[in-house]
Structure 1
Amino acid sequence: MTVLPLTPDELLTTTRSVRKRLDLTRPVPLELIRECLEIALQAPSGSNRQDWHWVVVTDADKRKAIADYYADSWERYIASGRSAGVLYADDPERAAVQQRIGTSGQYLADHMAEVPVLVLPCIKAGSLGAGNQAGLWGSILPAAWSYMLAARARGLGTAWTTLHLRHEEAISSLLGIPEGIAQAALIPTAFYTGDTFKPAARQPLDEVLHVDSW
């Protein structure tokens, strides 16, 4: 597979969550997913434990079951009002962005079963001690992000989702994930439509930068 001619900065600033632009009709070769995961395995992990596991779901029935669980969680999320920009009622510009995200999120929830590949990064839940949450999740999230970057460089779109975790136990049972293995995310993966992505609007650095003290 040809890797896109992106500079490191372009790759880091244009890897966006892809929902509406996922190509739901084009199969994704498993070998391409494996290539992305080989890169993900180069990410750091606490004490170099490498206690990660990756569940790649291509079976249509299992994707449909996961999609149904996701849709239930999405409906609960919608009912909370967070997707409609309620959290940013005092910031109209950011609220408008949140509403657009809500629209694309609804599309993903409606079409999750059609996404050709679902990737679930997982980790041994007790591998770094019950109280060491930063170390635990810090040992899987960089690898998951590396997977998403590798996918972007190969013309694949991804989105970071966690709403399915409301039904984590049921999904673990569905996929045969053993007890003690925690799911970190659900990453729908497909080729994307269109040609380009651009950096997203972000708050100014000086609003969040603190040097030497808060």
Structure 2
Amino acid sequence: MALLNLNPDELLTTTRSVRKRLDLTRPVPLELVKECIEIALQAPTGSNRQTWHWLVITDPDQRAAIGEFYRRAVDTYLSSEGACGTLYPEDPQRHAVQKRVGDSVAYLGERMSEVPVLVIPCLDANEAPEYNEAGMWGSIVQAGWSYMLAARARRLGTAWTTLHLMYEKEIAELLKIPDGVVQAALIPTAYSIGTDFKPARRQPLDQVLHLDSW
């Protein structure tokens, strides 16, 4: 498959968490997912320690079980204070954006089991430095982002989700994940419906940039 014709800046600024534009009807070749993970393995790692593992779930029954846990977690999250759409009432534009995000979270919550491939990046906490939480997570997070970038280049849509971690123990038992191996995210992966994604609205640089001191 030909890669999208995106320069590095375009790839970095238009890789979005895709929920409503995942094609739930089109199978994703396993070899394509493996290509993305191979690229993810080149991500920076703390102290050159690759303590990661990658679960790729394609079995319909396994996806259905994980999808049900995710749906329950989404219901809990959306009924809580601070959920999407209630964070910025003083900023109508940002509030509207968060409301759309909440709607897309609810949409994916009902359909996670239909996504053709679910990817769960994990790390072996037994091998991670206990004194350095950033060091522990600092390898798997950028590897997961690299996976999403590689997927975008291959016309796949993904989303970085973590709500399933409300049921991490149950999902670990379902997938026979060993003790001490923790899940970092759940990344739904499917062909995207269209590839015309654009940069998101973010804070102006001068509101977040500090030079030499705060």
Place the TM-score, normalised by the shorter chain, in its bin: over 0.9
Taking structure 2 as the reference length, what is the TM-score of the superposition? 0.97
2:213 corresponding residue in structure 1: 213
Matched, 1:104 2:104: yes
In angstroms, what is the RMSD of aligned CA positions?
Answer: 0.9
Matched, 1:44 2:44: yes
In structure 2, how many angstroms separate the alpha carbons of the residues matched to 1:6 and 1:52? 28
Can you list the C-alpha shifts for 1:53-95, whole angstroms capped at 9, x where unaligned?
A: 0000000001010011111111110111433422212221111
2:199 corresponding residue in structure 1: 199
In structure 2, how many angstroms separate the alpha carbons of the residues matched to 1:96 and 1:102? 10
1:116 corresponding residue in structure 2: 116
Can you list the C-alpha shifts for 1:101-144, whole angstroms capped at 9, x where unaligned?
A: 01111110011000000000000113232231100110101111
In structure 1, how many angstroms separate the alpha carbons of the residues matched to 2:127 and 2:139? 10
SS across alignment from 1:142: helix
How much identity, in percent, do the aligned residues show? 64
Alignment of structure 1 residues 19-168 onto 2, 5 Å? 19-168=19-168
In structure 2, how many angstroms separate the alpha carbons of the residues matched to 1:42 and 1:12? 16
Further displaced range: 129-138 or 32-41: 129-138
Assess if the C-alpha contact under 8 Å between 2:160 and 2:185 holds in 1: yes
Assess if the C-alpha contact under 8 Å between 1:116 and 1:189 holds in 2: yes
Which aligned segments of 4 or more residues in structure 1 are displaced greater than 4 angstroms? none
Assess if the C-alpha contact under 8 Å between 2:85 and 2:101 holds in 1: no
Can you list the C-alpha shifts for 1:17-60, whole angstroms capped at 9, x where unaligned?
A: 10000000000000000000000000111111111000000000
What's the offset of the Cα at 1:8? Answer: 0.1
2:17 corresponding residue in structure 1: 17
Assess if the C-alpha contact under 8 Å between 2:85 and 2:100 holds in 1: no
SS across alignment from 1:126: helix
SS across alignment from 1:145: helix
Taking structure 1 as the reference length, what is the TM-score of the superposition? 0.97
Which letter maps to 2:68?
A: D
In structure 2, how many angstroms separate the alpha carbons of the residues matched to 1:94 and 1:105? 16
Assess if the C-alpha contact under 8 Å between 2:86 and 2:99 holds in 1: no
Assess if the C-alpha contact under 8 Å between 1:83 and 1:99 holds in 2: no
Which letter maps to 2:205?
A: L
Which letter maps to 2:145?
A: W
Report the number of matched residues. Answer: 214
Assess if the C-alpha contact under 8 Å between 2:155 and 2:195 holds in 1: no
Further displaced range: 162-171 or 119-128: 119-128
Further displaced range: 85-94 or 177-186: 85-94
Assess if the C-alpha contact under 8 Å between 2:51 and 2:128 holds in 1: no
Unmatched segments (≥5 aa) in structure 1: none
Which letter maps to 1:40?
A: A
SS across alignment from 1:82: coil
1:188 corresponding residue in structure 2: 188
Structure 1 residues 5, 171: CA separation in 2 closer, same or farther (over 3 Å shift)? same
What's the offset of the Cα at 1:205? Answer: 0.5
Unmatched segments (≥5 aa) in structure 2: none
In structure 1, how many angstroms separate the alpha carbons of the residues matched to 2:50 and 2:200? 32
In structure 2, how many angstroms separate the alpha carbons of the residues matched to 1:195 and 1:184? 26
